[in-house]
Amino acid sequence: MHVYPFTLLIAVELAALGFAVGTFGTLVGSGGGFILTPVLLIAYPRAKPDLITAISLVVVFFNALSGSFAYRRQRRIDYRSGLQFAAAALPGSIAGALVVGLVPTRPFDAIIAAILAGLAILVLRGGTGELKQQTLRSATPRSITDAEGVTYEYAVPIRRGILYSVVVGFVSSFLGIGGGVLHVPLMATRLGFPVHIATATSHFVLTFMAFTGSITHLISGTFAGGIGLRRAAALSVGVIAGAQLGARLSQRFSGTLIRRVLGLALLAIAVRVGLLALLAP
């Protein structure tokens, strides 16, 4: 196994990367894992996928935890829906962390590129977040008034959200992307959530998913040797501060703009990782 050096300069660079990931990830409610995992794949092409995803999940946890505190102050988290979705996602989070060690690096790159491209198309196509009448009749009404006095009234098909969360839990832990990048588009376009509530609630759910996946990697020995934990720690220092900035910036952007920025970022990263999978020896 190739060993990459870890110096003070590298730690500072990783912290700066974490700050950028935390800012953007919290702005769009994704936790930043969909950015960090591809970047780590590019930076450490000889590292095993399970180590890459383990590092990413630790960073995503601290990003989501920091962002959740910020969104809590903004009063935009739908706790009732979030707790139900988190409970449904936890078994998949454990399974994904265990299975990823069985997948070779190049096929892993191709899988993550394909999933990110599909998500980009879903996000850019958009959707009003309005539910069909037959779905609306079985949905649970919600009403949230945030710290600025804006009231969001919507209805959530809880059973559908739980089914989505089971899949999201596995895929997010398997890829190390945390799940927010999956949950936000689904919540905003298929579950009736306003975009700002979706991003905040997604961060709350992501805290539980990323923590479960990280602990699973720790117990299974993915971090053996300690180098992965040092990288994760350096990234996490930056991501905690970046998450606070991202949550503040989210108040200044419309839901439509957040969705478009997320979609374009997904597409760009999908192309980059896809090229890595195709061109790598």
pLDDT confidence of residue 83: 96
Do 200 and 26 form a contact (C-beta atoms < 8 A)? no
Strands 151-156 and 140-145: antiparallel
Mean pLDDT on 132-149: 78
Kindly state the percentage of the chain with pLDDT values over 90. Answer: 30
Q: Give the number of other Cβ atoms within 10 Å of residue 180's Cβ.
A: 35
Nearest Cα to Cα of residue 73 among 203, 189, 195: 203
Separation between Cα atoms, residue 130 and residue 140, nearest integer Å = 14
Write out pLDDT tens, residues 15-69: 999 999 889 877 776 667 777 888 888 788 778 888 888 998 899 899 889 889 9
Tokens representing 259 are 């969705």
Model confidence pTM above 0.75: yes
Rounded (5°) CA angle 19-30-49? 80
**In whole angstroms, what separates CA 56 from the centre of its chain?**
10
Helix (H) / strand (E) element for 184: namely helix 180-189
% of residues, the chain, pLDDT over 70: 89
Give per-residue pLDDT as tens, 206-237: 899 989 989 998 998 888 777 788 899 999 99
Q: Cβ neighbours of residue 229 under 8 Å, at least 6 residues apart?
A: 58, 223
d(CA 249, CA 226): 35
| DSSP string across 262-280 | HHHHHHHHHHHHHHHHHH-
